[in-house]
Structure 1
Amino acid sequence: MRPANTPPHLLTLILANALSVLALNMFLPSLAEISEALKADYGLVNLSIAGYLAISAVLQLAMGPLSDRYGRRPVMLVSTAIFVIASVGCALAQNVWVFLGFRLLQAGIVSGQVLSRAVIRDLHAPKDAAKMLGHVAMAMALAPMLGPMLGGGLDMLFGWRSSFVLYSLLGAALLVILWVDLGETNAAAAGASFARQMRDYPELFRSRRFWGYSLCYAFAVAGFFAFITGAPLVAAAWYDLSPAALGLGIGIITVGFMVGNFVSGLLSARTELVTMVLAGRVFATLGPIGGLALFFAGAGTLWVFFGSAIVVGFGNGLTNANANAGVMSVRPQLAGSASGLSGAMTVALGAVMTSLTGALVTTERAPYIVLGIMLSTSILGLLAALYVRWVDKRDPLPPGL
């Protein structure tokens, strides 16, 4: 066993991130079967997604201050243990209310995303943190692409409960890894009380850089949510794609994201955070502009639609890790709180964009509307990045921050 204050291996943080993503999407192919097996309305079962997102947003607000007060290690260990218990409960549930209750408890695994970012910021200066966050994001980007495929295969072979059995096993394995490998990285833990940590949130609210970086990151993720919400209708109504081909198409944006993170890792050590963020937002804006121009010119094709998404994914790869590092560098002593608050904002905006896209997209104009929404979020993210640049010029950060 490693000493309690020894920093964790990067692989440990990647695994914690990946499980938090799998917890959201791996069982999605089983929703209809869960509805039938538990004799519940599909809309009610769908609360396992919407409710999960809502609870995870609330938990992120609390987990950040808790980890700033008590340390990253205990919060991650407790939340992972709760996830394991909740996964077992979902696997054994015999009615929809028991299932939904345990499913909402699974949201505790969001600590893997929130606190792994804080751990990296504890250990590294902003530019180095951006590079490390990019490596984590690049390695775990496969989770949203492979998760539903794995869940669908398990459902076909063993039924819907098998996904939650796997969640239980993966959670138990992660708990052991965290216990052995995750040393405490928050040197300021056990300083202020939890109530004081919560009262420190206004300090983040007053930071213009925090809002700029947070909104830039949130709008980048919102564009991805808009794409995955609208792409199925575009694929079905305009190009008659099979579910397998659609899954491959959606996965393409993840490939763009991985390449963007790789480039970011190469350049971030010698490039300002806001410069990388701006470059990413420019790429993410150019992708939908080019796609819409070709569609309006009558040259829109399946390749144009998904190609635009690849460019957006590449831009997000340049943006996200650097924006996250910027968020947590505003007040380094509040890195956990900043990560949690930014994460909650991102989840909330993603939920709004998912609902908005679903409401606005029509069969006749599907690719135009989806690309238009993606363009809107990219422009808003670009404006947020330009705002950070403006703040930096008016109020430069001290060297090293």
Structure 2
Amino acid sequence: MMRPAPRFSTITLLCALSVVPLNVFVPSLANIAQDFHTSYAVVSLSLAGYAIVAVAVEMIMGPLSDRFGRRPIILANLALFTAGSIGCALASDIWTFLVARMLQATITSCYPVAMAVIRDTVGRERTASRIGYTAMIWAIAPMLAPAFGGSVDQALGWRTIFWCLALAGAAMFTLCWFDLGETNKARAGSIAQQFRAYPALFRMPRFWAYGLCMSFSVGAFYAFLAGAPLAATSAFDLEPGVLGFFMGVTTLGYIFGSFLSGRYAGRVPLTNMMIVGRIVACACPIFGLTLFLIGFGSALTLFGPFILIGVGNGLTMPSANAGMLSVRPDLAGSAAGLAGAMTVGGGAVLSSITGAVLTQNNATYGLFTIVLLSTATGLLAASLAAVAEKRDLARAPATSAPAASQVEGG
């Protein structure tokens, strides 16, 4: 039975579901620890372990989607996620809960595979536009998820959160079963054949330029997450509620930047959009440092400039993602998985460096300095991507231009 290409709404819902399970149950951590008679630190493994499994799964499922197709991989991950959610809801001890929680992490790979589906079905420039709109939902979902989870826990208990996730997984599986046709029309003949093609991908400067741009873009945000609480409490003694409000600034900026990407990415070259996004992001630490050096230090001048990080990342990430997927369209799934792993890895490295370097005495200036180095490196990578793009286009045979234009318009 031939199925049509998926509706964009299906892909958007799939991307939203891929990120909600990360933090929807965070308000219930203390209650889960109490019910299982264990420490908060042990229950917190459900977050750290989830992230580790997510990176590994993304690196595996992307290549598998190149070999076996997008549809079976997405359906398999939704089935595993649903089973893991049921396991969490029924768990009788903390270790069963943690194992089921790791099974839930398979849902995260649906996001990069969904990006590959978008690349399969639309042209290169339109890919960035579509990713921009999905990124808005991807950013909004984790903003609303903790409030939903906390309300459900308060009314019906924490296990109901996981029953809701299981229901969402089953509903998404049903929707994808009927609406998600196979989009990968050029599958690798074997896993070995696919791995033999990897060196060609790794040898392409554009691949690394796009990947490094994404890594340092996300790294600047993770540096903010790791360093801003210390800077705020040491300099301004902010209460947790006020701190949480200010920490949401960059997410709002990301939503706005992603909206701009969705609206204009199809009209502006990918590398131009990336460079503009990196320039906007670089303005954050420059603006912030300037305000503090001239004596305008306050919570507002600490957090306010970071909205530019969000806007810049919203402008950069969809285009960088689309560019990375287009380096080798036949390895789009693998590239998407690697992109996810590189961004998470870059974020982990920058957050670790920030945590190791900052102290109460240097937190504010140190944070802005680390962010400046990260955003500037991202700008350099975006510029290198533009140079590599022009060079590769110049090398392409002139006779292929009309055909390429036709594909891009699709």
Q: Is the 8 A contact 1:4 1:182 kept in 2?
A: no
Distance of 2:73 and 2:280 partners within structure 1: 37
1:174 aligns with 172
1:22 aligns with 20
Q: Relative to structure 2, which stretch is displaced further, 281-290 or 132-141?
A: 132-141
TM-fit CA distance, 1:58: 1.1
Distance of 2:234 and 2:154 partners within structure 1: 27
* Secondary structure of 1:59's aligned partner: helix
Flag the 1:139–1:176 CA change in 2: closer, same or farther, 3 A: same
Distance of 2:89 and 2:282 partners within structure 1: 43
Distance of 1:394 and 1:332 partners within structure 2: 18
2:324 aligns with 327
**Percent of residue pairs identical:** 46
1:5-51 deviation per Cα after TM superposition (whole angstroms, max 9, x unaligned): 31111111111111111111212222233233323333332222222
TM-fit CA distance, 1:242: 4.3
2:299 aligns with 302
* Structure 2 residue 189 is the aligned partner of structure 1 residue 192: yes
Q: Is the 8 A contact 1:284 1:315 kept in 2?
A: yes
1:70 aligns with 68
* Secondary structure of 1:186's aligned partner: coil
Q: 1:98 aligns with which of 96, 103, 107?
A: 96
* Structure 2 residue 121 is the aligned partner of structure 1 residue 128: no
TM-fit CA distance, 1:215: 1.1
Distance of 1:349 and 1:391 partners within structure 2: 22
1:261 aligns with 258
TM-fit CA distance, 1:299: 0.7
Q: TM-score, normalised by structure 1?
A: 0.93
Unaligned runs of 5+ in 1: none
Flag the 1:133–1:356 CA change in 2: closer, same or farther, 3 A: same
* Secondary structure of 1:188's aligned partner: coil
Q: 1:142 aligns with which of 140, 143, 146?
A: 140
1:94-124 deviation per Cα after TM superposition (whole angstroms, max 9, x unaligned): 2221111111111110122111100000011
1:210 aligns with 207
Q: Is the 8 A contact 2:125 2:265 kept in 1?
A: yes
1:273 aligns with 270
Flag the 1:137–1:197 CA change in 2: closer, same or farther, 3 A: same
1:219-256 deviation per Cα after TM superposition (whole angstroms, max 9, x unaligned): 11122222223333344444444444333322221221
Count of residues paired in the alignment: 398
> Alpha carbon RMSD of aligned pairs, Å?
2.0
1:60 aligns with 58
2:107 aligns with 109
Letter in 1 for 2:343: T
Report the structure number with the largest CA radius of gyration: 2
Q: 1:219 aligns with which of 216, 219, 222?
A: 216
1:322-360 deviation per Cα after TM superposition (whole angstroms, max 9, x unaligned): 000000000011111110111111122222233333333
Distance of 1:378 and 1:195 partners within structure 2: 38
Q: 1:344 aligns with which of 341, 345, 349?
A: 341
Distance of 1:215 and 1:222 partners within structure 2: 10
Letter in 2 for 1:27: F
Flag the 1:384–1:305 CA change in 2: closer, same or farther, 3 A: same
Distance of 1:395 and 1:205 partners within structure 2: 15
* Secondary structure of 1:269's aligned partner: coil
Unaligned runs of 5+ in 2: none
Q: Relative to structure 2, which stretch is displaced further, 226-235 or 12-21?
A: 226-235
Distance of 2:6 and 2:106 partners within structure 1: 20
* Structure 2 residue 157 is the aligned partner of structure 1 residue 159: yes
1:248 aligns with 245
Q: Is the 8 A contact 1:218 1:349 kept in 2?
A: yes
